[in-house]
Copies of this chain bind each other. A is one copy, B any other.
Amino acid sequence: MALRHALLAALLDRELSGYQLSKLFDLGASSFWHASSQQLYAELGKLEADGLLTGHEVVQQGRPNKRVFALTDAGRDELTRFTGAPTKPTSIRDDLMVKAYAEQAADPDTLIKQLEDRAAQSRAKAEFLAAQLEKLRGDKPEADFLASADNVGPYLAGTRGKMYHDDQAEWCEWAAAILRHRTTS
């Protein structure tokens, strides 16, 4: 029920092809939602059937043709409805937290490695998102951009994504340090 709205949101101020959307929703790059390409194309089909967006074939030379999707008025209305409707908080479901919880059953060294690897991944992703944010706000200071820009949504969402990954990296390193300390003493 929510990938629908994530797709509509991504198409709010531009047209994108299925493939471009699949890059935007990629696990390693998405700032606000993730989905596999298979899931995306399936959902795009449903959204088109429901009249929330329209697809146009674009003929290309030198590479496969693509279908570019755009929001319809109905799609925009649906997004407006969605943003105003209460939804229940998204639940936490993180495999790393399960691993940390199960620390007693874990081999300390491999668990520490898991945490350090994830810390590195999150650091990289936080940096990537920081670069995206910088690009979005251009040369303005953040406060000016947020006060005056005409589309701040992606910036708000990107900021949350960056916070998440900064925290994740920090926590992973903190937890790894504690476990390391416990094994050496």
Contact = CB atoms under 8 A, between A and B. Distances in A.
A9 B89 contact: no
Interface residues of A, number: 71
Interface-centre pick from A89, A96, A103, A114 (highest chain B CB count, 10 A): A89
23 contacts: A9-B105, A10-B101, A13-B104, A27-B89, A27-B91, A31-B92, A80-B105, A83-B107, A83-B111, A84-B106, A84-B107, A89-B118, A89-B121, A92-B164, A100-B157, A100-B160, A101-B154, A104-B151, A146-B178, A152-B178, A156-B178, A159-B171, A163-B167
Nearest to A109: B84
B92 A34 contact: yes
Nearest to A111: B83
A interface SS class = helix
A33 B101 CA distance: 10
